[in-house]
Structure 1
Amino acid sequence: MRPTLQTVADTVGVSRSTVSNAYSRPDQLSADLRDRILAAATALGYAGPDPTARSLRKRRAGAIGMLFTSSLSFAFTDPYAVQYLRGIAEAAEQARTGLLLLPLSVDDDVAAVAAVNEAAVDGFCVYCMPDWHPALDALAARGLPVVSGQRRASDGPQSAFVGIDEAAATRAAGEHLMALGHRRIAVIGDYFSVAPTIGPALLASPADVAYYTSRERLRGYQAAFAAAGVDWSTVTTVNVPGNCRDDGAAAAAHLLDRAPRPTAIAALSDIVALGVLDALRARGLQPGRDVSVVGFDDIPEAAAENLTTVHQPAADRGRRSGELLLDPPADPADRTVVLPTRLVVRATTGPAPS
């Protein structure tokens, strides 16, 4: 039979708790007694207390989970995700706890919900998940602490928010384009529709978008355009299924190969904006002269490409999320952290061509 804690206790002639202390609280025993217990355990082939059972007894798993709807490689290749993940990892390392990455499929609801239900974690950080994903309801049902950068009406009392004022950030970008005289505007972003397609999305207003981040960023642009007299019905919106450079280029093709083409394209992420720049160059068009381009995030490559964009503190956002999850304040009012953003103007925006 497989040796257990009780087997060692019977062999040495001590209690189960004394054997447990030899592993988890050695300072409670004399050095001689601990050595006897460990020697007996080795002779019996006992490897020590089961960490899973121990975590169940303590009701603590010693890990936090990070949920996102992309492949696992995304967490290590997407520049913004890498910075965000680094911030969470720093918080986890400081607290001496683990980090479990949970990529959830948008096509297999059953598997995604099962992954949330079975994750041995003390809480979750939610990264860029669409509001309709069933895993979010499973998350609420578990009753564990949750920190998200998105807001949902169904968020429970255990939920906290670490993010930015998305609408204010894009309003600043929209005002910049309006001041440059642009009036034929297009916006490219993900989850404008549930369907994972690349192409025009007919949106009567930003309220039609079910995904929090895209909806709020569109609201900011809408406010800036309206203040300059540009009606939302004249703005072309193009959907991409995810944060992918190739998809950004394909979406831009829908805009650049039509007449009249827009004088400015606002992408809701830098990765998509870089794809727009690729499409412009493939057609011999110069960013900032023929068509202005704005991104969002300010990833390192944005500076290398002279991309006008909105800067948000990715690593700090991840770090603050981890800290708030691991050490939540007692007052729910203190569980909301809004970080600053700023518009970074570079060479990809210029006056609207006459």
Structure 2
Amino acid sequence: MRPAPPRITLKDLARELGVSTASISNAFNRPDQLSPRLRERILSEAERLGYSGPDAKARSLRTGRSRIIAVVLAETLTYSLNDAVASELLAGVAEVLDAHGHTLLLLSGRQHVSQVPGSANIADGFIVYGLMPSLKVLSDLPAHRPMVAVDFDIAGRPSVHIDNEPACYAIARHALTTPARRPGIINLRLTETPCNGRITPDYRLLAAEHTITRSRLAGFHRAFEEHGIAPAEVPMWNIEENTFEVCAPVIEAILDAPDDERPDLLLCMSDRIALTVLTLAERRGLRIPEDLRLTGFDGIAEGQNRGPRLTTIRQDSVEKGRSAARMILGLAPGDHCLLHTELILGETCP
């Protein structure tokens, strides 16, 4: 048998091209450090000569860094990849990691806690998105690694938030410029114990530091008080999962109430909830906004590409992901980042 040709090394390729070994490494791992023309030349010659890139295992052993950033999701991977808001956030994270030669690892807080640490140990840092179903997941992550929280807070760690309370105040204030006889609020995961339906006094609400839902509710309540409406008199419902299948039974019960009991204004804490209301209301022949006005939150494309268009709050989920990625890579201050939102006036609550 003929011996295999010797494997070309980084130094061999650098010598062949007359460039530094740092340039070769940057072409594979930090493309932002090179001109597009030089990077294209290096990669083209590397392919011709059979060089597949720096040895990741050797680099990890030498530097103690894997160049892997883990995103720990509060939901399952399937749900997160199908959810418009979560998938946009992941796109923003991936954009920054790609530009700086890092790899994205996805973990779910819905996994059994014993499954997460083994995968997590290889990551250089963690972006934790949303309140974990079990905080033990966080305590099992390597404490010495950088960590950024998104949409909630972890003591002593930097975080990325949007202006939830002012945003909900703004949209509720707009909605109440037209008097509402029977306003209602549909929340997303607001109660300590599972509740997929009307929130009664038997349910305790999650603490404000544990969920953005409380900040959004505070914004709604501020607008109600400004218009002389006692927040305690406004009925509230809770949704356990931001999907049509989970939302539908709760919303059907709301819409099927007698005419003199059915809300004429619904403030929804997500566009997915609002779109479910819209679909089920249309099936019942209810006119939007004449019989029922409604608002959403998120600004997803689906709500703006159908008629009537949702009145909603647009958050830039891609930029939220970018911000978290910059912080975890040390490209932005490791402090607290607050992003602003935009009120979008559609036909569902003109």
TM-score, with length taken from structure 1: 0.77
Is 1:85 matched up with 2:90?
yes
CA distance in 1, matches of 2:344, 2:204: 27
- Amino acid of the structure 2 residue aligned with 1:200: R
The gaps in structure 1 that reach 5 residues or longer are 1-11, 13-18, 32-46
Q: 2 CA distance for matches of 1:49 and 1:311?
A: 42
Aligned counterparts of 2:167 and 2:117: Cα–Cα separation in 1: 32
Q: 2-side partners of 1:133 and 1:72: how far apart?
A: 18
The verdict on how the C-alpha distance between 1:136 and 1:216 changes in structure 2, with shifts beyond 3 A counting, is farther
Please report how far the alpha carbon of residue 96 of structure 1 lies from its aligned counterpart in structure 2 after TM superposition. 0.6
1:149 positional shift? 2.2
Which residue pairs with 2:342 in the alignment?
A: 342
Q: 1:290 to 1:195 in 2, by over 3 A?
A: same
Amino acid across the alignment from 2:326: E
Contact residue 169 and residue 341 of structure 1 kept, 8 A: yes
Q: What is residue 310 of structure 1 aligned with on the other side? A: 313
Matched with 2:276 is 275
- Kindly indicate whether residue 60 of structure 2 is the aligned counterpart of residue 55 of structure 1: yes
Distance 1:138 1:183 in 2: 50
Cα deviation for residue 62 of structure 1 reads: 1.0
Matched residue of 2:105: which SS? strand
Letter in 1 for 2:80: A
- Tell me the distance in 2 between the aligned counterparts of 1:283 and 1:136: 45
| Percent identity (aligned) | 28
What root-mean-square deviation, in Å, do the aligned CA atoms of Structure 1 and Structure 2 show?
2.9
Distance 1:245 1:210 in 2: 27
Equivalent in 126, 129, 132 of residue 128 of structure 2: 126
User: Comparing 277-286 with 243-252, which one deviates more in the overlay?
Assistant: 243-252
Partner of 1:102: 107
Deviations 1:53-75 (A, max 9, x none): 65254221211111112222223
Describe the superposition over 1:242-295 as per-residue Cα deviations: whole angstroms up to 9, x where unpaired.
111232222212322224111111111111111111221122112211111111
Report the secondary structure of 1:273's partner residue. Answer: helix
- Matching residue of 1:65: 70
Matches within 5 A, 1:207-222: 211-222=210-221
Amino acid at match of 1:70: E
Instruction: Give the gaps of 5 or more residues in structure 2.
Output: 1-5, 18-51
Is 1:327 the counterpart of 2:325? The answer is no
The equivalent residue for 1:300 is 301
Rate the CA distance shift 1:185–1:26 in 2: closer, same or farther, 3 A: farther
Please report how far the alpha carbon of residue 312 of structure 1 lies from its aligned counterpart in structure 2 after TM superposition.
0.7
Distance 1:103 1:29, change over 3 A: same
Distance 1:195 1:211 in 2: 14
SS at match of 2:304: helix
Deviation string 1:152-203 (CA, Å, 9 cap, x unpaired) is 3x522xx222221111111101101211112422222221224444211236
Q: Which amino acid aligns with 1:253?
A: E
Looking at structure 2, the residues matched to 183 and 224 of structure 1 have their Cα atoms a distance apart, in angstroms, of: 15
Of Structure 1 and Structure 2, which has the larger fraction of its residues in helix? 1
Task: For residue 158 of structure 2, give the secondary structure of its aligned residue in structure 1.
Answer: strand
Distance 1:292 1:225, change over 3 A: same
| Separation in 2, partners of 1:341, 1:64 | 27
Quote the offset at 1:50 in angstroms.
7.7
Paired residues, number: 305
* 1:52/1:115 CA distance change after superposition, 3 Å: farther
Cα 1:56–1:189 shift into 2, 3 Å: farther
Taking a change above 3 Å as real, the CA distance of residues 82 and 208 of structure 1, as seen in their structure-2 partners, is: closer
SS of the residue corresponding to residue 242 of structure 2 reads coil
